[in-house]
């Protein structure tokens, strides 16, 4: 009997209170779990990032994040977790800093769109990586995040809709740990590429080499987020092929530390980063 059939049987025959208890038990045992090869319809987990707990955690961590970014400490933390040191976070931030320094070596005045950029956390890293550059930094994120971010980080511009963000073009367009949460990732990637005059940077992207794209659910209770959320895992070749069709070539690849081993998934994913330059 399949796992899905067992779940349906349990739902039909196990008392509701016991069923709910079992669900909570097994959810905590699997921080990542395979959902399917298609984005599910009308799934509340697609809106997990809109939960108020996300903004609350980011806001609570913001002062410490800013302090660390301006210090001599390693860049080894995430916007939602600033305690301790995380090697995967350091790889991600150093890859971004490399890209900013790379662009600043050619021009001292450029613009950035950080799609899914929370409170503009990466803007402080950009200033440290290229202190003499004049960088216009814009963030696109969800309305609750933009509302808080515009108060905490007034040097950054905020867009709470794609229509507003993609109405302009930017020297660099960035999506770090973000593209996988877009239901129509191909359409979103095409719009990101269309807004980049020169550079496109995709970071913290979960990829597999053998399997087609598939969807997973994450249960991020350990960082204080109250809701689950779903995301894509990308077939590497298909992702790169789509980028190429948008008129970009690979300039540099970044290997990230850590693997995404989702329960029941057809393949273990690796996080990767890619810097592309327009033809």
Write out pLDDT tens, residues 164-205: 999 999 999 999 999 999 999 999 999 999 999 999 999 999
Q: CA-CA distance, 21 to 44, in Å (whole number)?
A: 20
SS3 231: strand
Predicted pLDDT of residue 17? 63
Contact of 34 with 216, CB cutoff 8 Å: yes
pLDDT of residue 184: 97
Q: Helix, strand, or coil here: 217?
A: strand
Which pLDDT does position 256 carry in this prediction? 80
Q: Are 36 and 58 spatial neighbours (Cβ–Cβ below 8 Å)?
A: no
pLDDT at position 3 is 41
Return the pLDDT at 174: 98
Residue 277 burial (CB < 10 Å; 0-12/13-18/19+)?
middle
Whether the Cβ atoms of residue 143 and residue 93 lie closer than 8 Å to each other: no
- Cα separations (Å) of 60 from 54, 63, 148, 149, 220? 10, 7, 11, 12, 16
Helix (H) or strand (E) holding 121: helix 121-129
Q: Which residues, in sequence order, are bridge partners of residue 278?
A: 248
CA-to-CA distance for 164 and 247, rounded, in angstroms? Answer: 23
pLDDT per residue as tens digits for the range 236-270: 999 999 999 999 999 999 988 778 999 999 999 99
Neighbour-count burial of 163, counting CB atoms closer than 10 A to its CB (0-12 exposed, 13-18 middle, 19+ buried): exposed
CB 45 within 8 A of CB 229: yes
CA atoms within a 13 Å half-sphere pointing along the CA-CB vector of 250: 12
Instruction: Report pLDDT for 28.
Output: 53
Q: Would you state the pLDDT for residue 9?
A: 55
pLDDT at 257: 78
- Reduced 3-state DSSP string for 70-117: CCCCCCCCECCECCCCCHHHHHHHHHHHHHHHHHHCCCCEEEEEEECC
273 beta partners: 254
Q: Which fold has domain 45-278?
A: Rossmann fold (3.40.50)
Low-confidence ranges of the chain (pLDDT < 70): 1-12, 14, 16-29
Helix, strand, coil tally for the chain in percent (to 5): 40, 30, 30
The residue ranges of every structural domain in the chain are 45-278
Both tokens of residue 255? 């290997």
Structure tokens at 50: 């809109």
Residue pair 275/251 in contact (Cβ under 8 Å)? The answer is yes
The b/e string for 12-44 (b: 16+ C-beta within 10 A; e otherwise) is eeeeeeeeeeeeeeeeeeebbbbbeeebeeebe
């Amino acid at each position: 009997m399949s796992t899905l059939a067992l779940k349906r049987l349990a739902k039909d025959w196990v008392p509701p209170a016991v069923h709910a208890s079992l669900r909570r038990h097994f959810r905590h045992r699997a921080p990542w779990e395979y959902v399917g090869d298609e984005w599910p319809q009308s799934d509340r987990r697609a809106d997990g990032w809109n939960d108020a707990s996300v903004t609350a955690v980011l806001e609570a961590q913001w002062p410490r994040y800013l302090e660390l970014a301006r210090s001599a400490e390693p860049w080894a933390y995430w916007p939602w977790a600033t305690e301790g040191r995380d090697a995967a976070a350091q790889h991600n931030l150093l890859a971004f800093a490399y890209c900013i320094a790379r662009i600043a070596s050619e021009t001292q005045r450029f613009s950035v769109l950080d799609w899914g950029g929370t409170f503009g956390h990466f803007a402080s890293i950009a200033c440290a990586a290229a202190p003499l550059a004049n960088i216009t930094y814009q963030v696109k994120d969800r309305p609750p995040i933009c509302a808080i971010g515009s108060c905490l980080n007034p040097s950054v511009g905020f867009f709470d809709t794609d229509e507003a963000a993609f109405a302009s073009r930017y020297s660099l367009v960035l999506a770090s740990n973000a593209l996988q949460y877009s239901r129509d990732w191909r359409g979103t990637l095409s719009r990101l590429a269309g807004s980049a005059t020169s550079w496109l940077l995709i970071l913290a992207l979960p990829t597999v080499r053998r399997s087609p794209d598939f969807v997973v659910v994450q249960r991020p209770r350990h960082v204080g987020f109250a809701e689950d959320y779903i995301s894509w895992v990308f077939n590497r070749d298909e992702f790169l092929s789509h980028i190429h069709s948008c008129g970009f070539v690979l300039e540099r690849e970044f290997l990230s530390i850590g693997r995404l081993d989702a329960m029941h998934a057809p393949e273990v994913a690796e996080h990767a980063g890619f810097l592309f330059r327009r033809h």
